[in-house]
Amino acid sequence: MKFAVIVTIVAIALLAIIVVISSNQTPDETEIVREEVDITGQPVLGSEDAPVTVVEFGDFKCPSCKAWGETVYPQLVEDYILTEDVKFAYVNVLFHGKESVVGSLAAESVYKQDPEVYWDFHKNLFDAQPESSQHDSLWITTEKILELASGIPSINQEQLKEDIEQELTAEQVNSDKDLYTKHNVSQTPTININGITMENPFDYEAIKEVIERELGTEKNE
């Protein structure tokens, strides 16, 4: 009987050890698939030394991207970008035809002329997007873009117009196309955090969880 009790105690102890080991290797940590996004040449908001990189694959014509920019993005800025824990990069996606291309050409022109004002223009263009009921209407035009950029003194209007109409920033736009094709982006917005693509871009709690885990990993290395 004593022998049976001892064997039982040992078995329980071994089971406890296995449980502890397993709890330290949760599926979330061991089954992560990472595809790091090369943000070389992309507009970046935040400290270059930030340990976590969040990338949005977005489209200026996309209503969901506008919604993400109005709901999740401000929280991300306040909680992590201003604290220099996260840097944020944006990659143009061309899922909505000619207007997506025009918006991207314009954004790349603004970035080329003055990277410091890129994010102001970025916001202006999304703010100009009409309500979802009028989504299919033509609104990303050269005239509209020049109007939106008119309040930014450092932007040369003639250069901006030329860049759009002659597609002089097409190389940068095509580089973005190669990037989102490489990462199999099929919807906008797609959010990637240190190579981890989020299943639901609007689930801010899940985004925070991944960022916090990544920050913890960086601190422990």
Q: Give the other-Cβ count within 10 Å of 24's Cβ.
A: 9
Mean pLDDT of the chain: 88
Per-residue pLDDT reduced to its tens digit, 173-202: 999 999 999 999 999 999 999 999 999 999
Query: Residue 42: what pLDDT?
Result: 97
The pLDDT, as a whole number, for residue 17 is 41
Q: Is 160 exposed, middle or buried (0-12, 13-18, 19+ CB in 10 A)?
A: buried
Instruction: For residue 16, tell me if it sits in a domain.
Output: no
Domain of residue 206: give its range. Answer: 34-220
3-state class of 87 per DSSP?
Answer: strand
Residue 110 lies in a domain: yes
Residue 20 falls inside a structural domain: no
Q: pLDDT tens, 123-139?
A: 999 999 998 767 778 99
Amino acid 31: pLDDT: 64
User: Is 17 part of any domain?
Assistant: no
- Could you tell me how far CA 205 lies from the centroid of its own chain? 15
Q: CA-based angle 93:96:101, to the nearest 5?
A: 60
- CATH for 209: 3.40.30.10
Query: Which H/E stretch holds residue 140?
Result: none
- How far is 92 from 220, CA to CA, in rounded Å? 34
Classify residue 60: in a domain, yes or no: yes
Residue 22 within a domain: no
- Residue 77 in domain: yes
Predicted confidence at residue 133, as pLDDT, reads: 61
Count the domains in the chain: 1
pLDDT in tens, 84-115: 999 999 999 999 999 999 999 999 999 999 99
Residue 11, domain member (yes or no): no
